[in-house]
Amino acid sequence: MNQDHISLLSRFDREMREHARPDDPGVHVERTADVVRQVGAPDDWNGVVWSAPDLDAVRADAAIAEQVEHFTALGHDEFEWKLYGHDRPADLGRRLRAAGFVAEEPETLLVAPVAELPTGAELPGGVRLRTVTDASDVELMVRAHEQAFGSDGSRLRRQVLARLAEAPDSFVGVLAMVGDEPVSSARMELYPGTGFAGLWGGGTVEPWRGKGIYRALVAFRARIAAERGYRYLQVDASDMSRPILLRLGFQKLSTTTPYVYRRPA
């Protein structure tokens, strides 16, 4: 990793993790000596977003045990420790597994300077992009999400409706429409007080994949991020989206793996 990447990763860790802001209305961020965690209701995202870079084995085990006790005492059936590939100690993942956490699919942390990204992309005929502005748009977004990913969109619905009602300036939802039918959706989280905006979603229904819609959604959001003064776009990229984003100019800074603790039955 070159010096520019090291500097950018350090900025990401500082602004987005160590000094994390709540990512949804109704949740809050708590800081202890060795971790930063987000806490909300059981159906919110609950978990650890940062751990001290100088953690040793003894402090790591103590911090893990403390989080298990903290979240289970709140009555949560599960929570996540968001582990990055450069976090310390080097065997932190093994220590999490020993404490009962289960590792889910890793993703790649990609970041790009907004000024270096394309802000225009050609769409296939009949497809248009527009932003999400009201509850009916949210239903279209959820429908596209469920068809693209084959998963329930109830949580997404709650999150987006709450964001539109309570913090609309920190969220952008985008729909790709063919006539009255949504064929793709995506969102962008804006983090005021930082230089970063995050890209999430980007699921396209199967008949419309491979036609450039995902690239167009990235360009559309990059243009909005630039207009609002954000310097960087960040993505936790899956194996499917990573090659596209690397070709667009994103840089790999690290990996991130969700370690999920579920209360024993």
Residue 189 contacts residue 198 (beta carbons within 8 Å)? yes
Token pair for 46 = 């609950």
DSSP state of 128: E
Rounded-to-integer distance, Cα 219 and Cα 241, Å: 14
pLDDT of residue 223: 96
Among 80, 97, 78, CA closest to 264:
78
Using DSSP bridges, classify how beta strands 107-113 and 251-262 pair: parallel, antiparallel or unpaired. antiparallel
Residue 88 contacts residue 53 (beta carbons within 8 Å)? yes
pLDDT single digits (tens) 87-139: 999 999 999 999 999 999 999 999 999 999 988 878 999 999 999 999 999 99
- Mean pLDDT across the chain, nearest whole number? 95
Token pair for 245 = 């984003």
Residue 63 contacts residue 51 (beta carbons within 8 Å)? yes
pLDDT of residue 180: 95
pLDDT of residue 117: 95
Helix (H, G, I), strand (E, B) or coil at 62: helix
pLDDT of residue 233: 98
Place of tokens 């959001």: 221
Place of tokens 């995202």: 45
Q: Which amino acid is at 13?
A: D
CATH 3.40.630.30 residue spans of the chain: 118-248
Element holding 218 (H helix, E strand): helix 213-227
pLDDT of residue 144: 97
Q: Tell me: domain 118-248, CATH 3.40.630.30, correct?
A: yes
Per-block average pLDDT, block size 10, for the chain (265 residues)?
Answer: 88 97 90 97 94 97 98 96 98 98 98 93 92 97 95 92 91 96 97 94 93 95 96 96 95 97 92
pLDDT of residue 24: 82
List C-alpha distances in Å: 188 to 4, 37, 52, 185: 25, 21, 28, 11
Among 224, 246, 129, 235, CA closest to 169:
224
pLDDT of residue 3: 83
Tell me the fold of 3-110+256-262. Aminopeptidase (3.40.630)
Rounded-to-integer distance, Cα 260 and Cα 222, Å: 31
